[in-house]
Amino acid sequence: MSFGAVISDAEGLRLTAEERALFRDMNPFGFILFARNIDSADQVRALCDDFREAVGRNCPITIDQEGGRVQRLRAPLAREWVPPLDHTARAGDQADRAMYLRYRLIADELFSLGIDSNCAPMVDLARDDTHKFLRNRCYGSDAKQISLIGKAVAQGHLDGGVLPVIKHMPGHGLSTLDSHHDLPHVDLPLEELENADFAPFRALNDLPMGMTAHLVYDRIDPQPATISKTMIQLIREKIGFDGLIMTDDISMKALSGAPEEVAQQALAAGCDVVLHCNGSLEARTQVLEAAGQMTQAAQTRAERALAMRKPPQELDIKAAEAELSALMGGQVYER
């Protein structure tokens, strides 16, 4: 059965009858959760069951659980973490191990609720002028160090039975604007980008899934990367990423046009699946209809990504917490 080329969402804590019918008919590849979808552990598990029952398969369910400012699960359901940039700074030369433990614990929390994907690692390079919406979510400003940390973060997810989604390809750290509201532009030559911003993505090009960046690389293509054939080809060929490419949320203001039009543009550019968030039932219906089914190449990548879901390895939570606390010189979360 071919998947619909969309990752969709729900309006509330459980699926409505209309949402169930829509997802049954359109078979989106997967779903994403937001704070509005989260109340209690049992409720989250029930909603995840709703999604999977609607499409009749063990579809992936993802979330943004970076820790710090961007985490949909909050206490008491999950640990409240310091921002990633603060975490890596405190850990110093042990940052890769500390971040592995952080995300291994996060994966444990997610998997226990029925969530089997997470939009991390985020391997964008932090710069002095990186917009504040992004900067403290980064892992550092050195491409080699970020690559090591990113690999550790990805492995922490995989060991916990959770698929990592690397973001934001091919690099968002040069953004001085918030792409939720504006379209950032980058004015650097390709060679400089390849040696810096693109490098961590090249180092992690074997990961199962990746998310695009909504920004323009002016010296490469005038279109935002998400809807640029040139940039998607660059991600495939120069970065060497052959995993499933999903867009960042197509309803963000960096992209102009109706969501269903943007969905078609992104898929035409070479993205495999569209992430559409926070739309009305009518908007979700329009995007699902516009996107249609995955191409055969996208379907193959999707199936290959799903095959990387493995049962979580055994985790001694107290031992992991103790090791992390020792590495960090003290606790880095509230619970």
Q: Summarize the confidence of residues 90-109 as an average pLDDT.
A: 97
Asked if residue 123 is part of any domain, the answer here is yes
Asked if residue 335 is part of any domain, the answer here is no
> What pairs with residue 274 in β-bridges?
6
Asked if residue 324 is part of any domain, the answer here is no
- Given a cut of 80, whether residue 335 has pLDDT beyond it is no
- Given a cut of 70, whether residue 111 has pLDDT beyond it is yes
Residue 275 corresponds to which tokens in the numbers above?
A: 């992430």
3-class DSSP assignment, residue 248: coil
Asked if residue 52 is part of any domain, the answer here is yes
Asked if residue 82 is part of any domain, the answer here is yes
Asked if residue 139 is part of any domain, the answer here is yes
Among 25, 49, 129, 180, the active-site one is 180
How far apart CA 129 and CA 193 sit, in angstroms, is 16
How far apart CA 313 and CA 110 sit, in angstroms, is 14
- pLDDT for the residue 330: 83
> CB-based contacts of 301: which residues, under 8 Å, 6+ apart?
242, 243, 244, 245, 272
- Given a cut of 70, whether residue 133 has pLDDT beyond it is yes
How far apart CA 65 and CA 169 sit, in angstroms, is 18
- pLDDT for the residue 178: 77
Alpha carbon dihedral 89, 186, 201, 311, in 10-degree steps, equals 80
Q: Summarize the confidence of residues 294-311 as an average pLDDT.
A: 98
- pLDDT for the residue 50: 98
Among 98, 139, 147, 31, which Cα is nearest to 326's? 98
Q: Summarize the confidence of residues 25-43 as an average pLDDT.
A: 98
How high is the mean pLDDT of the chain? 96
pLDDT, tens only, 239-296: 999 999 999 999 988 899 999 999 999 999 999 999 999 999 999 999 999 999 999 9
- Note the Cα 216 to chain centre separation in Å: 20
- Given a cut of 90, whether residue 182 has pLDDT beyond it is no
- pLDDT for the residue 150: 98
pLDDT, tens only, 44-69: 999 999 999 999 999 999 999 999 99
CATH code at position 167: 3.20.20.300
Instruction: Say if residue 7 is exposed, middle or buried (CB neighbours under 10 Å; 0-12, 13-18, 19+).
Output: buried
> CB-based contacts of 303: which residues, under 8 Å, 6+ apart?
none
How far apart CA 70 and CA 52 sit, in angstroms, is 25
Asked if residue 300 is part of any domain, the answer here is yes
Among 30, 45, 172, 163, which Cα is nearest to 103's? 163
Q: Summarize the confidence of residues 221-247 as an average pLDDT.
A: 97
Expressed as residue numbers, the domain containing 293 is: 4-310
How many CB atoms are located within 10 Å of the residue 286 CB? 18
Residue 309 confidence class, pLDDT cut points 50, 70, 90: very high
Asked whether the beta carbons of 244 and 273 are under 8 A apart, the reply is yes
- pLDDT for the residue 334: 66
- 180 has catalytic annotation: yes
- 157 has catalytic annotation: no
Asked if residue 37 is part of any domain, the answer here is yes
Domain count, the chain: 1
Among 248, 249, 272, 276, the active-site one is 248
At residue 15, what is the residue type?
L
